[in-house]
Amino acid sequence: MKSILELISEEVKKAFVDAGYDEKLGNVTVSNRPDLCEYQCNGAMAGAKLYHKAPIMIAGEIAERLAGSAVFEKVEAVNPGFLNINIKSQWLGEYVDEMMKDESKKFGLVVPDKKMVMVDYGGPNVAKPLHVGHLRSAVIGESIKRICRYMGHETIGDIHLGDWGLQMGLVITELKERKPELPYFDENYEGEYPAEAPFTISELEEIYPTASGKSKADEEYKAKAMDATYKLQSGVRGYRALWDHIIAVSVSDLKRNYANLNVDFDLWKGESDVHDIIPGMVQYMKDGGYAYLSDGALVVDVKEETDTKEMPPCMILKSDGASLYNTTDLATIMDRMKTYHPDKIVYLTDKRQDLYFEQVFRCAKKTKLVDETTELVHIGFGTVNGKDGKPFKTRDGGVMRLEYLISDINERMLSKITENREMDAKEAEQISKIVGLAAIKYGDLSNQAAKDYIFDVDKFTSSEGNTGPYILYTIVRIKSILNKYVEQGGELSNLAIQTPDSESGKALLRELAGFAPVIQSAFDEVAPHKICAYIYGLANAFNSFYHDTRILVEEDENKKKGYISVLVLCRDILETCIDLLGFEAPEKM
């Protein structure tokens, strides 16, 4: 099914061609002056230069040719040469009806050829609690994964745990200081290691920062941690067994945390998973003449002639032969290509890793770890700030744990929901969790990823304005009208969209018709914020329609059915969109 803009543009293009002008000029966009018209075409302005004619003359000719069209109610040429366009309500009604009845159940979205996409997001480091900085990677990544899937692509989300670096050596070192008697540290121990971890998650979360603090102050301690990391990576039995415990305890806690965010991963792989393939990859890079020694380190040049900024080489091995972040990322690319053959890999991290990913991607292309056509995309996101414009902190200035951030929001929602009314405590709590999550996710996703934003609890939890709760209220309102309709004996089958009979009814249909192009561009540009902007506009359009229209008391049953059909479509589109954003609506609020 073609998008509404494509269909309208086709009509206008035909008129340009018939009048002897270039087809390109007939491109139509949504009006940026909704007070004057619904759509606009600025082709006559560009045409003026090409054909040495006054733009208003060209626009006039086109308007004349389009008079009497089945699509347009009005095409007006206005100075200095714009075409102001309104479409016929009947044509719009028929279009939206067709969209609703779209066989693929995708409301007119045309799905492209199936590709294989991997989304690398979350990226927490094992043994460290999730903090507010982990929010964006999880939330934006989850949405991107869902959008790719909705577009029909085979999509795999991988958490890519940081589970192989110095932080593991630090934890092991601190454990050894505290409990040297454990069998893991006895080199002569040959028996089976205990099945139970010698620490709990809360101990683990305390051990890591303690160890990290000590290593910063104490050179000797740091050397021990590096040695422990080395021993772990080279396979010392007791250290591996301890590492297994760290991973198990940490991962089960991570799973709980991500589940609270409605985020789930298909793969729980990590840096450690590629350890064994690193030597082969390094050899391949040397043999291919890509990697060379520079000051003892093994590097690959990734500079390009057109570079305007400094582009340092990509380091593959440190001078002591140790692998680093780059090494595991490149080996992971190699592994993914072998196992899944992705056409595209999308990475989500803080934008401070922009240069890093540029180096890694160039290195992967140059060394042919990926095909020429493999798309490697890094979405670098901005910082979550507090109202003071500085990175979001707890009230006493500490790092804000993600868990506490979520529970704070849920509590705030709970008090809002139970304000001035009686409600079953359990139900209220459930609803506040659903709405709280929407508040957080929408608050985050409605900002363009690359920008920093202010985490404003008052604003995010408000039921008015461009917020998650506002969107949910709108959905709940629609559902409640539909429920009443059914209670009154109405049926939600044989739906048909009719010709809108009011300005707000027509505006709502125009918004509904915008679904497919929005999803398409959210996918093309890897930009979930576009979906937020769309549903905010759609929710507004619905609320004005609702304000103007007496739906359930409408006496003409046929007309009423038409309204109900619009409501059903509106609910379905809103619910599809919030699902793509990674949250859901409650039945009531």
Q: How far is the CB of 451 from ligand ARG (least distance, A)?
A: 20
CB closer to ligand ARG, 98 vs 452: 452
CB closer to ligand ARG, 526 vs 567: 526
Token pair 């059903």 is found at 568
Q: How far is the CB of 334 from ligand ARG (least distance, A)?
A: 13
DSSP 463-503: SSSSSHHHHHHHHHHHHHHHHHHHHTT--S-S-------SH
- Rounded Cα distance between 174 and 212, Å, is 9
Euclidean distance between the first and the last CA atom of the chain, given in angstroms as a whole number = 36
Q: How far is the CB of 125 from ligand ARG (least distance, A)?
A: 5
Q: How far is the CB of 441 from ligand ARG (least distance, A)?
A: 20
Rg over CA atoms, the chain:
29
Q: How many CB atoms lie within 10 A of CB 410?
A: 21
Q: How far is the CB of 162 from ligand ARG (least distance, A)?
A: 3
Give the binding site for ligand ARG (CB under 6 A). 120, 123, 125, 160, 162, 329, 347, 349
CB closer to ligand ARG, 125 vs 229: 125
CB closer to ligand ARG, 120 vs 444: 120
CB closer to ligand ARG, 55 vs 380: 380
- Rounded Cα distance between 163 and 217, Å, is 24
Token pair 């982990």 is found at 134
Q: How far is the CB of 128 from ligand ARG (least distance, A)?
A: 9
Token pair 């040297």 is found at 180
Does a cis peptide bond (omega within 30 degrees of 0) precede residue 80? Answer: yes
Minimal CA–CA distance to 65: which of 25, 34, 116?
25
CB closer to ligand ARG, 333 vs 577: 333
Is the Cα torsion angle 99, 100, 104, 106 positive or negative in sign? positive
129 and 205 Cβ atoms separated by less than 8 Å: yes
Q: How far is the CB of 450 from ligand ARG (least distance, A)?
A: 16
Token pair 């680093």 is found at 324
CB closer to ligand ARG, 269 vs 416: 269
Q: How far is the CB of 145 from ligand ARG (least distance, A)?
A: 14
Q: How far is the CB of 205 from ligand ARG (least distance, A)?
A: 16
DSSP 367-407: TTSS-TT-EEEEEEE--EE-TTSSB-B-TTSSBPBHHHHHH
List C-alpha distances in Å: 312 to 70, 295, 353, 416.
60, 14, 14, 52
117 and 346 Cβ atoms separated by less than 8 Å: yes
CB closer to ligand ARG, 108 vs 123: 123
Measured from each CB, the residue nearest to ligand ARG is: 123
DSSP 563-579: HHHHHHHHHHHHHHHHH
CB closer to ligand ARG, 118 vs 567: 118
CB closer to ligand ARG, 125 vs 447: 125
The one-character DSSP state at 40 is: E
Amino acid at 484: K
Q: How far is the CB of 257 from ligand ARG (least distance, A)?
A: 15
Amino acid at 461: T
